[in-house]
Structure 1
């Protein structure tokens, strides 16, 4: 690699920082990240915030500005109590997927930590946000901040006009359905603020056109006694766009009793949910990318004489904490650390590219010995999500180093059975099993609107396609169905269907809307 021209000049000494030092460190990081590594991040905007501001950002999903909701205050009070009592720490940074990329760093950080988190967030995360195909397909970094500002002001205006209780009731229901408010296939719509404001004005003047479409599907008076045929059902489904997995989208467009402002609030929550959808699928890759980038940059800063040995030791201490993985029988174990897993896989790819073994050449013939670990990294960051990344790049060495194994967990059996150990067949089974754990389809229930009984009581019919016999928890499901019924305005019924046999295995009888 090329040596930076001013490599003999220390960026800083000591723990204290000021804005001039932060700017100097940022420029040095940028030279390594862009000129040496060839990263392509968004322009960065670094802002220093207090611990209270960091807690506030925590409480509102990490967003810099957001509408008001009681749940955010509850989260703030809880997190602040834990922090003040020393029961939990705070993140060193928060980064926003926007253009420019907003990087919030804590004022309590030392100068070494400020350097580390800028490398991690302003260049590692930012490159991933800009180049990963999921973020490019589902999110709009150009418009998200303007849209959040619009959302905040719009909800505040609704509170003034219709009352805080009415707005809160809609937001409560929308938040309950938030995980079912995304299009799982790309339907990218740029968040154009001018268009959003025009739609708000249009909705204030007119009822949704789909409202009329809904009632036009009702039987004509002369046909009320006729038995609807399969052709009528098919036409109804086509007119209503059924089946529909995006519940918030369906309610926004089709719910017959919602006011125009309520539809707009559903759209706001839906757009926020869509914004976070890629992040839910790339936790391991995103953190692995940022951790590998900061590790590479901090090592280069040390190699080129720009940080002291003391600063480098501080960095190593913090980095080790970030990628620490407790053993399965350790009281601190709470699952696999995404920072550790992502970082270890990427470092293993670097080793394969530069110094492969015979095992590497057998498992990864296209990667082993190619000499271009940065190109391999960038390809992985751009083209994969967690599930496919692990399935494609998790190698035997990482499985051995992390002591991964697979067990067969059957609720009907009194004991767990180890079914995959460290041999070729076991490696493949461990990789498959671990990859499946990051498949959102295994964690979020597949619930779709499948029919609306327009000819009768306008009952909304939903279907949950249960995987491996896993049914919804009854108490929580009924609460969410109640929110759904309140938005729809009529009764809601949910069938749970075995995904393999299409047989009904459970039913939630009609949930009626409650009066506001």
Structure 2
């Protein structure tokens, strides 16, 4: 009787024959509680923080109520690391193994993954464990209250990176770094005319900080907070590095899960080494993974990325061929994938629509228009799912001015939540912090924190 390890070896050989070019995968069976911790913390060993405890309770309740189940967690890299739950049935783990090979192929092909893995490195587990160790040293030296205040701020700003910039950025140019241009022939003659005094030295000006709107809040605070200590800076940069590593997972979720689902289904179909009963059980698990959340003849208010991505890749491969699909896999993220390849026919076939959920509990369908459907799916993914906030300037007294680019992200802020985040920022900036934003109705608002715990909101002058 074959073991899971045997089936994985056969799947790898079959994948090679089908043209998959995947990073090698280290598979590991782990108990349920360990898998739950990975799902909550993001990695097996990470910096400790109270918010992860809340997430753990939330995930545990959902799992016990049957609303969610974790089959596997995979970390991209070379090699990839895949954790499978030892309480899964053999058929489920056979499906998971084929699915993970599909993920590993996507990660190696996709340009966004390639760029971010080159910057952040492909050894996230070791890097995260090293950061957790440094945090333990900081806890021993500075105490839980001090360290937790810094982690509160860093994790509150976790999505606020600038993905257009590099992970390891150079500092802003200093004033006077650029040498003056050499004088031309006319300037040289003018300078030696009789009676001409030498030009006065230009007045020293302090360069604007930042020299342009800065959207990488974690980097800016780590670099320019007036009184940040080295260990505090290290925490901000550690959270930022992990955000860079996980960004492609967020930005390619529909593509990636759909690609892995397409290949696990194809590998299962062509796996003549699987016993018939095991194959049927694995196919049943596949059907559960790629179906919409709602039952038959019901409406689902959330998109299952496995279902949508799988349906799109099947349509693309059927109409354009596997070579075109591999090119798309290399070039796109979810934004380009949905805008270029989710057509009206498929959207209608899948029953997709946009809707509005009101605070009074009323939910109503807004549109089945293809543009509206695409943007309803992609809107929460823009800018890592966070409001687009920029550092506008640091004033002479070192107070910090932030501005919400609400025109780009199309959202107003929950002012109570924004005040809490601003309080966190003020703890580490240690000078007044102000945010220009709008509320959920689009009305201008000004949030100010002069000292931690003193946030207040006013209407911004028209």
Specify the TM-score bucket, using the shorter chain as the normaliser. 0.7 to 0.9
SS of residue matched to 2:146: helix
SS of residue matched to 1:178: coil
Q: Give 2:116's aligned residue.
A: 138
Which of 253-262 and 130-139 deviates more? Answer: 130-139
Q: Give 1:236's aligned residue.
A: 207
State the alpha-carbon separation in 2 of the partners of residues 446 and 232 from structure 1. Answer: 34
State the alpha-carbon separation in 1 of the partners of residues 35 and 221 from structure 2. Answer: 34
State the shift of 1:186 in Å.
Answer: 4.2
State the shift of 1:416 in Å.
Answer: 6.0
**Do the aligned partners of 1:125 and 1:286 also contact (CA within 8 Å) in 2?**
yes
Q: Select which of 283, 286, 290 maps to 2:253.
A: 283
Q: Select which of 317, 324, 332 maps to 1:350.
A: 317
Q: Give 1:482's aligned residue.
A: 423
* 2:234 counterpart of 1:264: yes
State the shift of 1:406 in Å.
Answer: 5.2
State the alpha-carbon separation in 2 of the partners of residues 406 and 78 from structure 1. Answer: 27
Cα distance change, pair 463–349 in 1 and its aligned pair in 2 (3 A): same
State the alpha-carbon separation in 1 of the partners of residues 207 and 243 from structure 2. Answer: 28
**Do the aligned partners of 1:465 and 1:497 also contact (CA within 8 Å) in 2?**
no
State the shift of 1:487 in Å.
Answer: 0.9
Q: Give 1:80's aligned residue.
A: 60
Name the count of aligned residue pairs.
418
State the alpha-carbon separation in 2 of the partners of residues 76 and 379 from structure 1. Answer: 38
Q: Give 2:103's aligned residue.
A: 125
* 2:222 counterpart of 1:274: no
**Do the aligned partners of 1:138 and 1:186 also contact (CA within 8 Å) in 2?**
no
Cα distance change, pair 437–110 in 1 and its aligned pair in 2 (3 A): same
Q: Give 1:60's aligned residue.
A: 41
Q: Give 2:5's aligned residue.
A: 23
TM-score (norm 2): 0.82
TM-score (norm 1): 0.74
**Any idea what the Cα deviations from partners look like across 1:82-125, whole Å, max 9, x if unmatched?**
54x4444431111111221111111112222221101101x111
Gaps of 5+ in 2: 176-202, 455-462
Report 1:89-108 matches (<5 A). 89-108=68-87
Which of 27-36 and 249-258 deviates more? Answer: 27-36
Gaps of 5+ in 1: 1-10, 13-20, 191-208, 215-230, 353-366, 368-372, 421-425
State the alpha-carbon separation in 2 of the partners of residues 505 and 249 from structure 1. Answer: 27
Cα distance change, pair 415–185 in 1 and its aligned pair in 2 (3 A): closer
**Do the aligned partners of 2:354 and 2:372 also contact (CA within 8 Å) in 1?**
yes
Q: Give 2:142's aligned residue.
A: 162
Q: Select which of 371, 379, 386 maps to 2:327.
A: 379
Report 1:136-215 matches (<5 A). 136-139=114-117, 140-180=120-160, 182-189=161-168
Cα distance change, pair 396–150 in 1 and its aligned pair in 2 (3 A): same
**Do the aligned partners of 2:31 and 2:85 also contact (CA within 8 Å) in 1?**
yes
Report 1:301-450 matches (<5 A). 301=271, 305-326=272-293, 333-352=300-319, 367=320, 373-405=321-353, 420=368, 427=370, 429=371, 432-434=374-376, 436-437=378-379, 439-441=381-383, 443-450=385-392
**Do the aligned partners of 2:413 and 2:438 also contact (CA within 8 Å) in 1?**
no
